[in-house]
Structure 1
Amino acid sequence: MSTVNAMQEPLKLIRACMGLFNASEDLETIAKVNKAVIEAEEIRTREQEESRNTLRALSRQLELAKGNATRPPDHPDENAHTQKINTLDLQKFSLAKNIREMEGEMVSLEAQISSLREESEQIDREQEAPDNLELDDKVIRLHIYRALGVELQITEESNFAEAKIASTAQNDVKTVSLDDKYSRFFYVNYLWDMIEPTH
């Protein structure tokens, strides 16, 4: 009986000790620790990948900086580039100025062509007139004034209506109305005064 009691004592002790342990809580703790370890490992892996990406980006920037720092032999430096831009600007302004001058010359030439065309038509009309038509004093005066740059307009009543004085110096045409307000002597002197500065 003593032997049985002796064996029961350790069993009681073991049962008492087992009551002190909570297997479910221990498993929960182990699971939490395991999860924390896995999460820490994932965070460390992400940080390592980000560090590697940052390093690769910095390496690319360094290579680009090295490439930009060493210019090829045929690449112009900054001063040469600026000088070339200035030269192109000057050429552009010079070309624009030449175009404006050419446009002005074209306008002047068109005016001269128009005047010559009118003169040619006038000559054609005179040539178509009868050969037996004698030149009177007005026709003679018309030719004289035209040679001096003055074109006289005659009305149907054979009266002088107006005079156009062409100025080659000022590149324009002045028109003077010839009415009965003033005498012929006044108009003759007035026209001569206008003719002299233009020739």
Structure 2
Amino acid sequence: MLLDEDPATLIHHTVGNFNIQPDKLAISRINESLSTLQQARDLRVREAESALKKLSRQLTTLHNHHDELVSSNSSAAHASEIATLDTKKFRIAKTANDLEIESERLSSQLADLQAKLQELELQGVDGRDMAKRPQVEDETSLKLKVYRSLGIDIERENGEYSKAIIRNAQKGDLHVVNMDSKFSKFFYANYFWNTL
């Protein structure tokens, strides 16, 4: 009885009962989403490929630049130049040290010559003392003479004794001591004796 009807009519009624329109719309939306997602993925892939090509070009450029630098600057030449500069540095330092020692020696010699000149000026032209009676030397002059006899020259600056030059003839040494008021006379006396 039911099968007596036309199959096309039966199929049409069956399709109408299933209501597949919402499913078709959902499938259409899914296809659109898939299409949009594929386009976005393609765009991201193109951007990544472009960035990769750019980084690859930079890497090639840097690699070439590195190869040029390595080939133009050999490590042996660099080491040789460093050794030459070190030699010059030590030679200059030694020369500066030698000049400083020579300067101190000449300063000491100048102090001796100035003291002798002062003595000669006090004696006069004919070698006799200018004063009728012998001059009594004061305490400071006597101390300076004792120091000089020991090989110590003391220099005065702004009315204060600020520098002592100590010569040790046996050792061939020359020491210059800058005296400061924050150290005691006892300290300097001990230092002078130890140096002599």
Which bracket does the TM-score occupy, shorter chain normalised? 0.5 to 0.7
- The corresponding residue for 2:37 is 39
Structure 2 residue identity aligned to 1:115: D
Please give the residue correspondences for 1:175-194 in structure 2 after superposition, counting only pairs within 5 Å: none
1:26 aligns with 2:24: yes
1:69 aligns with 2:57: no
In structure 1, list runs of 5 or more residues that go unmatched: 1-5, 140-153, 174-199
Structure 2 residue identity aligned to 1:22: I
Structure 2 residue identity aligned to 1:99: A
How far off its partner does 1:110 sit? Answer: 1.3
How far off its partner does 1:172 sit? Answer: 5.8
Q: What percent identity do the matched residue pairs reach?
A: 14
Task: Give the 3 Å change call, closer, same or farther, for CA 13–71 of structure 1 in structure 2.
Answer: closer
Structure 2 CA distance, aligned partners of 1:132 and 1:125? 9
How far off its partner does 1:56 sit? Answer: 2.0
- The corresponding residue for 1:122 is 119
Structure 2 residue identity aligned to 1:127: G
Task: Give the 3 Å change call, closer, same or farther, for CA 131–81 of structure 1 in structure 2.
Answer: closer
Q: How many residues align?
A: 147
In structure 2, list runs of 5 or more residues that go unmatched: 152-166, 176-196
Moved more, 125-134 or 86-95: 125-134
- The corresponding residue for 1:99 is 96
Q: Structure with the greater relative contact order (CA < 8 A, sep ≥ 6): 1 or 2?
A: 2
Question: Is residue 168–residue 174 contact of structure 2 (8 Å, CA) maintained in 1?
Answer: yes
Task: Give the 3 Å change call, closer, same or farther, for CA 172–123 of structure 1 in structure 2.
Answer: farther
Moved more, 94-103 or 160-169: 160-169
Structure 2 CA distance, aligned partners of 1:34 and 1:100? 88
Structure 2 CA distance, aligned partners of 1:113 and 1:97? 24
Q: Specify which of 81, 84, 87 is matched with residue 81 of structure 2.
A: 84
Structure 2 residue identity aligned to 1:26: K
Q: Secondary structure at the match of 1:30?
A: helix
Structure 2 CA distance, aligned partners of 1:36 and 1:132? 125
Question: Is residue 105–residue 174 contact of structure 2 (8 Å, CA) maintained in 1?
Answer: no
Structure 1 residue identity aligned to 2:58: R
Q: If you compute each CA radius of gyration, which structure gives the higher value, 1 or 2? A: 1
Structure 1 residue identity aligned to 2:56: L
Structure 1 residue identity aligned to 2:44: R
Could you list the per-position Cα deviations for residues 21-59 of structure 1 after superposition, in whole angstroms to 9, with x for gaps in the alignment? 331232122212311221132123212311221122122
How far off its partner does 1:69 sit? Answer: 2.3
